[in-house]
Amino acid sequence: MISHPSRHCTVGLQALPSRIGQVRRIISAQLRHWHLDPLVDRAALGVTELLTNVHRHAGPDKMCTVEIELLLDRLTVSVHDHDPRLPELRVAGSFDTGGRGLALIAAVSESWGVRPDGDCRGKTVWFTLPTVPPAVAVPDHAAYAEQAPARSAVAG
């Protein structure tokens, strides 16, 4: 379901490898439709990591819901599953082949977290991305000109 005024999109799925790629493409297309192209790579990476965690760790049915919501200057991406066990951020060893998903999400997002649902019915793992890039300091050319040594325009 897509709601244009609130910029909200929800996709339900079984987190199987073939479906994870499809959902990544759906999320990417939706962000492009909202003219949020600069967020596509980080959002697709994050949703892939969260869905991979559902595939590897969630209960036997692997059912989940992916939700993206744009409010003001922030995109929130969340994945809800029915497994009440909460994920833990861990430090993967140099030769480990897994265990980096949440650390990767922490690295590419503005914030992230886990919200348990009531009555042990599952959890929601989410992350946010700013839609406006952080302000970059612009060099003050006047101050630079004052500090630069004067050059003579006379050829000598």
CATH classification of the domain holding 23: 3.30.565.10
- State the pLDDT at residue 123: 95
Instruction: Give percent of the chain with pLDDT exceeding 90.
Output: 58
- State the pLDDT at residue 152: 47
Q: Is 156 inside a domain boundary?
A: no
- State the pLDDT at residue 88: 78
User: Which residues form the domain of 52?
Assistant: 2-147
Cβ-proximal residues to 85 (8 Å cutoff; 6+ apart), any chain: 57, 123
Q: Is 100 inside a domain boundary?
A: yes
Q: Is 57 inside a domain boundary?
A: yes
- State the pLDDT at residue 67: 97
Residue of higher predicted confidence among 152 and 40: 40
Alpha carbon of 28 to those of 43, 48, 120: distances in Å? 8, 11, 31
SS3 per-residue string spanning 42-88 = HHHHHHHHHHHHHHHHCCCCCEEEEEEEEECCEEEEEEEECCCCCCC
Q: Is 20 inside a domain boundary?
A: yes
Residue 52 has pLDDT above 60, yes or no: yes
| Confidence at 55, pLDDT banded by 50, 70, 90 | very high
Sign of the four-CA dihedral 44, 50, 56, 62: negative
Q: Is 155 inside a domain boundary?
A: no
Residue 134 has pLDDT above 80, yes or no: no
pLDDT in tens, 105-126: 999 999 999 999 877 689 999 9
Sign of the four-CA dihedral 74, 77, 82, 87: negative
Q: Is 152 inside a domain boundary?
A: no
Residue of higher predicted confidence among 58 and 39: 39
Angle ∠(25,32,9) on CA atoms, nearest 5: 70
